[in-house]
Structure 1
Amino acid sequence: MVTDKELERLIIDFMRTQGMCVLATCSNNVPRASAVEFFPDGTTLYILTEGGEKVANITSNPRVSVAVHTQFTGWDSIKGIQITGTAEVGKAGSKIFEEGAEAYRKRRGLKGVSIPDFMNIIKIAPKKIEYLDTTLKARGLGVRHVLEY
């Protein structure tokens, strides 16, 4: 059995090894999936973006879904997460913008680099994270786990 604390650690460690995700948003019953780079802080994700339809969608409907996964190389090595949560958009000068800029700098190993003011930062706070890891089977554990906040 995997405890919630162990599961959260597995998820955080997994997100540190990945750089891209698919962000799904929806507005007026029209879904949109965007492949974007993300910057994690614990289980919170930050995404830098100039704007576009995903930002407009989040503004009208903050509920989002995010998928992060490894490349498929075989049934015994599948790893991925599905996040269901809420998103907020931060503009320059906001707390979200500063948090996201720090997550960006930390991941990239940059100090003192500023994010241009025209950028937006999306903050995704998870409500539920579904973790799939078939390598856990070798340790006698289940391969699907759910962490809810």
Structure 2
Amino acid sequence: MDISDFTPEQIDKMIDGLFAKLKIQRWKPSKEELEDEITDFLNKMHCCSLATCGKDGVPRISVVDYVNDGLNIYIFTEGGQKLKNIKENNKVAVGIGVSTLSMKAVRGVNIRGTADVFTDDMPEYEEAKKLFKPVFDNFLKDTGTPLNVPKGLSKIIRIIPYEIVYYHNNRGIYAAHWKP
């Protein structure tokens, strides 16, 4: 048996029962409330798992740091297989989550989106790079020198979501779906 064997109504009833046992009021936020919840979560986290898949069909997952601008995710990278995969297939997935082995503590997002890659000769790169100022400032503070990346090496991946599934059990939110 699998969850897909149940109707949406049956699943809702099971989830309502789960939250009742946890003594948490279930909440189904509006689109605007959900966007605020997701943005708040993304602002607090800075590490994600980025899943890509090239034309060979072999999936790759990379644990990377990110910054966000609202719901859009930005990743500063030197390249590698993830970029090769994105060139072949710009559909990506991102997972971000936290838990303390408690059902109440589950909070996270599953994001499906479209990735663009900006190189350091593009105006979009310079604009997106501004989002990484705290990262560069921390590097300077930690090392005493600015981060100098050779011209042409660094790229910025921008992920624009087309679907997000959000969980925040402690607030009664289970599998809330967001779409633009």
TM-score (norm. length: structure 2)? 0.73
Counterpart of 1:86, as a letter, is: T
Aligned to 1:87: 115
CA distance 1:99–1:73, change in 2 (3 Å): farther
Flag the structure with higher helix content.
Answer: 2
CA distance in 1, matches of 2:118, 2:156: 5
The structure having more radius of gyration, on CA atoms, is 2
Aligned to 1:148: 179
Deviation readout 1:100-121 (Å, 9 max, x if unpaired): 211111x4484xx787332011
* 2:67 is the counterpart of 1:64: no
Aligned match for 1:16, one of 25, 28, 43: 43
Flag the structure with higher strand content.
Answer: 1
* 2:26 is the counterpart of 1:26: no
Aligned match for 1:38, one of 66, 79, 82: 66
Retained in 2: the 8 A contact 1:135–1:143? no
Aligned to 2:143: none
The equivalences for 1:89-108 within 5 A come to 89-105=117-133, 107-108=134-135
Where do 5+ consecutive residues of structure 2 fail to align?
Answer: 1-27, 138-145
TM-score (norm. length: structure 1)? 0.88
Where do 5+ consecutive residues of structure 1 fail to align?
Answer: none
* 2:168 is the counterpart of 1:133: yes
Identity %: 31
CA distance in 2, matches of 1:49, 1:11: 24
